[in-house]
Structure 1
Amino acid sequence: MLEVKEISFAYDRIPVLEGINFQLAQGEHLAVMGESGCGKSTLLKIIYGALQPSQGEIFWNGKQIKGPDQTLVPGKQGVKYMSQEFDLMPFTTVAENISSYLSSASPKKLEKRVRELLYVIDMVEFAGTKVKNLSVGQQQRVGLAKVLAQKPQLLLLDEPFSHIDNFRKSYLRRNLYDYLKTEGITCLTATHDSNDVLPFADSGLVLKDNVVLAHQPILELYDKPKDLYVASLFGEANKVSIEVIKSYANTKRRIIVYAHEFTLAHTSGIGAIVIKKYPMGSHYLYKGEAENQYLLFESTQDLDLGTEVRLNISIDIINKRLQNNNGY
């Protein structure tokens, strides 16, 4: 188990993290989310032991992970960190980069293990290619294989898909996280992209203004966001008065509504005029001007600018957002 207790950190006396607490069981996956500069990377570096917290302690399986003020060599056995720099040997091949981190084994076992990791990162055909001839995205994938080759018990991934082509990301994400679950590897992924973690993480931790804003099971974090900031990490969202959506509702409370949760209605709902239109492939994203605010909504219908629409939302979604004080 990973235990993070009251971790605080500052750069040049400017607070970055304050009083961070959480636990993560063996084999679970935590998504660390938030906008750029919120402290995601800093938190991972502290957990790895590369940065010294100003206060607090970190334990992995009951043993303390010490910072650079307490130990000469950062890190702890079984804990591996993949930063946004990949630490590869540019003049050797992909296979040689991976195998250099494998324990001594027979050539046959070594080849089998390298091929297994090349499959995970979808680069079997690049085994003999020198790293210097790879794209940045391909190098990032080799960096993933390199840390997996070290058989981590706890894996810390800092924006692991940031340089990878969109058309490869989905396949790679499935491969990687399926592998981690099969091997029982505990994982923290720092990301600003919910697609990296929503289908795969067990829980999510959102950082904002130096503190933990929310820490919930990942689907609960999505379904019942604490506020508009949390919701915006998962997609386009609005904050809407229930009274405006349902005229018969006797409340002025407001709820979060994702753009895709609106449906076009004939009579009831919020009246709006389409003022912007963004083709998204499978659907359109629209910006509508309502009486007191602008709203983002999605539809498969091809609407012209200036079209008057009525936007509705199901009572099930309203009730879900009102649970646990998620209405405002």
Structure 2
Amino acid sequence: MMRNTPVKFVVWLESASKKRLLRTQQRRREDVSSTTLKSEKSRVLHTLFEEGMASLYLDFSTPEYRLNSMIMDVAYHRLYKPARTMDDIPSKSCRQFLKLKFTNKGIDAVNISNILRHKKVQSCIPNYFKFKSTLCISYSYTSTIASKLFNYKQTLQCLDIDPLIRNPPTCSCSSSSFNYSPVGHAITGEVDIVKNKDLKSLILKGPKYREPQSFNWRQNFISIMSSVKDYARRWAKYEKEELDTLSEWVKSIRGILKSRIRHMKTKVRTIYPSVFSKPEVIKELDRLHEEYVLLPAEKASNNIVFVCKAHH
């Protein structure tokens, strides 16, 4: 062990990690010692701290000085640094979110996160505000195609047992290539059961898929600025300041947003016809709903299972 090291520390250190310390270089010894110190009992740390206070290691280039400094640092933080209270821990409620409706690709194209980090926008935040970190954006999304594809809930809600018992429904599953022989009815996850190519292509994307929505830039601008103003009101209330203190911040966002929309008006596509608006798709989907129950696969909810209504 090193010369002039406190006797009690030598005994403690040898009992805890002597074998490891002898196999490593000086830097590794210090890392191991620090880790072991942090797990020691308070009374041991108190003794080591008092011995460190009485030591005379003045040459910072020596191993003894670094070792003594490490002991003092760990012991001080364990013994004398005030314990953290609940008031010291940042509350999750303090996190600020800009709530935005993600209704179309135009919302993504303007890159609102980048605007909020813009130097001009950041410079408009009053210096005396406590909360200045870049806010989080919370998106709410439109409905997925699942609501238009799945019909198992409607089937169960409209189910009337007595008429079904008196007149069991008929089907043509016996001649179907999708017939599941153990039950004698069609039960399949194969999309080839869908005859329309557009609908089949859409189903292959999974029920969690969202169709792109047509939009106009004016509505997007109004939606984004409405969210920004709402956030400004909550932020001013959080800071206990007047709303006018953030007027320049709101204006700077409005100016950059207008500039970006003006630049993208001729570059970004805004018309996205829905597949479900096509007459042939509507006809095919009606046929599927008439003959089959469409439901998500168990433990694989992004897959669709087609079950013969007569069996279901």
TM-score of the superposed pair, with normalisation by structure 2:
0.20
Structure with max Cα Rg: 2
Choose between structure 1 and 2 for higher RCO, CA contacts under 8 A separated by at least 6 residues.
2
Higher-strand-fraction structure: 1
TM-score of the superposed pair, with normalisation by structure 1:
0.20
Higher-helix-fraction structure: 2
